[in-house]
Structures are given as structure tokens and as C-alpha cells.
Structure 1
Amino acid sequence: MTGQQPIDERAVFFFDIDNCLYPRSYKIHDIMAKLIDDYFMDKLDLPFEEASTLHQRYYKEYGLAIEGLVRHHEIDPLEYNSKVDDALPIAEVIKPDPKLRSFLQSIDKSKVKLWLFTNAYKTHAARVIKALGVEDLFDGVTFCDYGEPVLICKPKPEMFERAMRDAGAISKDKCYFIDDSPVNIKGAKEFGWKVTIQYIDPLDKSPATPAGHFEIREFDEIKTIAPEIFQ
């Protein structure tokens, strides 16, 4: 009879992907915004200004434009994904990042799991980390499942609960998180995760009110924030 597997007591470091693992200067978000606007115009038969306004409203209200489309317009989220996220020219824009890879390799994997945590669908996550050349360094991914009847995404508490289940995190005190979104960082801090870090793009000003425990502009700054997780 096989005994129970020992509990993995390692901490988990959750990494957002877009505008976090790669810089905003790549303009992936701008390309995506145009694709989303085009989708709203096509599917809802709206002129550009109305489509763009509705897109932004849904994003602010729900954290994802697609959630508003699903709630109010019965749009198939997987079709949306094929026309928006999967249509992004990821491999043409994002290139391998040796500095990011070196940073991730400096984390002590005997102490910490590295886990991707995104509001995008799993196909987008896979394409980005492959383009960055770091796909082999993460233990898994928690993503917004566009195949579900009700979409769950950051910063909903249910999404943080899902991430912990997926990653096998045994305690909120063992959860580290970095994201460029102040809303997501605030949600994680309120949820009780131990270390929440807002990544601020070098081109942006620091926010007047911190969203989480820490703010950084370079990933190497995490070595000062959480030296206990590095080799």
C-alpha cells in the first residue's frame, strides 16, 4: 500500500505576466487594446468611439473586457481569445530575456515554487513565457479559464483561492506576489498574502498611495525585499 505523499511546504512566488515579466514599452497592451476595440466593433456593431468606451468600462468594472462581453452580450470567450490574445504577434515582439532568466534562476527552488498568475487564458501565458525563454523555470500557471460559464479573475478573492489550490500553497503566509496592476496587488494584500509587490514600469511615476507592501522597478530589488527565498 502506497503511503501519502509528503506535503510540499515550500513558499509560492506568484508572477503576473503581461507588463510585468516584460516591459510596457513592448506595446503588447496597445496592440491588444486595438484588437479588443475591433472585436467590440465587429461583434456588437458599434462605431469606434462607442466600442472603445464600452471596452474600457468593462475593463474597469470587471477586470477583464471579456467578462463584460460574456455577462451582457453572450459572447463565446474562447472565440474572443482566438481573435484577441491568440492573434497577438508575441513571437515577433517579445524576445528571450537573459536578465529575467538569471533572476528567476537565482531563486532557491528548494524553498520556493515559481508560479504564473494571469487573467489571460492559458494559451497566451504559454506563448509569452516561451518567447521570453523562461518556460522551463515555472512550476505551473493559474489563468482565467475562458471555458467556464462564470469567469473568475484577479482581483476576486476566489481567484487568489484558486491560485493557492493550483500551486499547493499551504498558507497565505507563504505567498509572494508581483503584479503591475495596483488593483490586483491591493486585492492580494487584502486577501492576506505575505508579500505583495507592485511592479512599476520605469516610464511611470510612483503612485501617491502604495497598493501593496512594496514597489519595485527592477526585479533584482526583490533580493532586498525577500532575501530568504534566494540562493
Structure 2
Amino acid sequence: MSAGGADLSKLTARDIWVFDLDNTLYPAECDLFAQIDVRMTDFVASYLGMERAEARALQKAYYAEHGTTLKGMMTMHGMSPDEFLAHVHDIDLSPIPHMPELCTVLDALPGRKLVYTNGSREHARRITDYMSLAGSFDGLFGIEDSDFVPKPAVPAYEAFCRQHDVDPARAVFFEDMARNLKPAHEMGFATVLVHSAKDWSHEPIEARPAGAADESQPFIDYVTGNLTGFLEDVVKSRAE
């Protein structure tokens, strides 16, 4: 269900707003993952002493099997995560457009606003600072805060809820990947899929985790292609 005349009653009594970071707070058309993807391949190649083509194939296999390349490298090779995260997130943020309306509507939402990303906390800080959104959020939760267990693993969501004292029955979860909304829905979050026609993953279809792009699942309460417009509708609905 999209916004724009949609019944937003599931969100009326909720006052905790949880946002994924990449391709959710900023448009997927920015394609920042293209930069991250290249830097992951370079790191894997250097770390394992592989040719780049071989490293890329392994990177994609780990993404499919472990949820993130990071988790695969840690599990299979005992890699320390800090250097990997610093390297892959050292990217140019200039493709992100100026989005003052998003800042305004986030500040108008009643209650707490949190970022929950499979990237690092520093990556979340850089992007929210760049987007002038740092003051709009009450906390950032990165992959290191879940002991490097990525979404959609349930223990990662449980760690997030513990750290930020989140009651899912009072919270709304915004994500660009459908599969990451299933555990949130089962825990009691209202769920919003932030949809884009842009395939940002740079993955062959056979390497994508199951459910990565399915928008028709019953665990998705709302679908929107315009996060700012959706939030504006939410604020207006609550005011009425």
C-alpha cells in the first residue's frame, strides 16, 4: 500500500521511527553502492592475494551466503572488520542531492528517530552529517552494534531494540530491501518498503539473497517511492 490517500491508521499511535540508511534516506539513484562495490572487491583481492575477478566472485558468493561480504570474510577468513569497513565506506557522497524537505518533515515527526544500517556507525554519521540530518536523529545503530550480525538475522534486530529501548509495537521500520522487513514485521513493527526502480545491488540475479526485491509480501504494510512525501502524509494524517 502506498501513501497518497492511503489509510495510515497503522502509524497513528506509533512514536519511534526507524530508518535504514543506504537507498532509504537518500535515493537509490545516487548509486553510492557502485563505489562501495568496487572498494569491497579491491579489499578482498588485496586481503586474500587474489586476482580481481576471482575476488569479485568470492565477494558476491559471501554476500549471498552470509548476508554481507563483511560477515563472510570474518567467518571464513577470520578478518578483523575495522579496516574493511573504513576502506569500503571511504566514498564520494556528492551524488546525494540537497534534500531540505526531508529534514523538515523528519523534525515534524513526533517521537524518536533512529538509523539502523548494515553499514558502520561512522558511515551513518558521515551520510547524516552530509545530508544535514544529524540533528534529526536520536541515535545511530551500525553493524558493529550487533556484533557484526547483519539484517535480516533476528538477533541483530533484538540487539538494536535492546540498545535503543525500542518497543516494536510503538515503532515503524523503513527499508529499501523487502527481506529486511520480514523480521521487523514479526516482532511487531509497522513496515514501510521504500521502493525504487533502480537496481542498486550490482548483483547477478542468482547471487541476490531471497526476497531482496519482492514488494508483494504480507509483511510489508506500506510501499512508497517517495520517502519525503510519505512522511509528509503521515504528519498531516496525525495532525488531522
Tell me if both proteins adopt one fold, taking TM over 0.5 as the criterion: yes
Aligned residue number for residue 3 of structure 2 = none
| Matched letter for residue 209 of structure 1 | S
Please state how far the C-alpha of 1:201 moved relative to its aligned partner. Answer: 1.4
RMSD, aligned CA? 2.4
Counterpart in the other structure of 1:97: 99
Question: Would the aligned equivalents of 1:12 and 1:174 in 2 still touch at CA under 8 Å?
Answer: yes
Question: Are the structure 2 counterparts of residues 229 and 202 from structure 1 closer, same or farther at C-alpha, using a change threshold of 3 Å?
Answer: farther
- Aligned to 1:200, which of 183, 195, 203? 195
Match of 1:62 among 46, 61, 66: 66
Structural mapping, 1:97-136, within 5 Å: 97-108=99-110, 112-136=111-135
Which residue does the alignment assign to 1:3? none
**Measured at CA, do residues 64 and 165 of structure 1 come closer, stay the same or move farther in structure 2, by a change above 3 Å?**
same
Q: What residue number does 1:140 align with?
A: 139
Say whether the 8 Å CA contact 1:10–1:174 is kept in structure 2: yes
Matched residues in 2 for 1:218 and 1:230: separation? 20
2:217 counterpart of 1:215: no
Matched, 1:20 2:24: yes
* Alignment deviations for residues 109-138 of structure 1 (CA, whole Å, 9 cap, x no partner): xxx200111111111010000010110010
Q: Distance in 2 between matches of 1:166 and 1:10?
A: 19
Offset of residue 225 of structure 1: 6.0
SS at match of 1:145: helix
More contact order relative to length (CA 8 Å, sep ≥ 6): 2
**For residue 107 of structure 2, what is the amino acid of its counterpart?**
Q
Cα gap change, 1:79 to 1:131, in 2 (>3 Å): same
Would the aligned equivalents of 1:63 and 1:153 in 2 still touch at CA under 8 Å? yes
Aligned to 1:5: none
% same residue: 22
- SS at structure 2 position matched to 1:151: coil
3-state DSSP class of the match of 2:136? coil
**CA distance 1:208–1:214, change in 2 (3 Å):** closer
The change in CA–CA distance for 1:185 and 1:227 in structure 2 (over 3 A counts) is farther
Match of 2:91 in 1: 88
- Measured against aligned partners, the alpha-carbon deviations of 1:85-105 in whole angstroms (never above 9, x if no partner) come to 1x1122x33354212112212
Match for residue 152 of structure 1? 149
Gaps of 5+ in 2: 1-12, 200-212
Judging changes above 3 Å, is the alpha-carbon distance between structure 1 residues 46 and 133 closer, same or farther for their aligned structure 2 residues?
A: same
1:173 to 164, 169, 174: 169
Q: Is residue 162 of structure 1 aligned with residue 159 of structure 2?
A: yes
The answer as to whether partners of 1:197 and 1:213 remain within 8 angstroms in 2 is yes
**Could you list the per-position Cα deviations for residues 181-227 of structure 1 after superposition, in whole angstroms to 9, with x for gaps in the alignment?**
1111122113332x1111011546x8463352111111222454686
Take 2:77 and 2:239, find their aligned partners in 1: how far apart are those partners?
Answer: 47
Q: Call closer, same or farther: CA 1:227–1:155 in 2, change over 3 Å.
A: farther
Q: Does 1:190 align with 2:197?
A: no
Give TM-score scaled by structure 2 length.
Answer: 0.80
Unaligned runs of 5+ in 1: 1-8
Instruction: Compute the TM-score of the two structures, normalised by the length of structure 1.
Output: 0.83
**Which of 69, 78, 83 pairs up with 1:79?**
83
SS of the equivalent of 1:136 reads helix
Q: Which whole-Å CA distance do the structure 2 matches of 1:208 and 1:103 have between them? A: 25
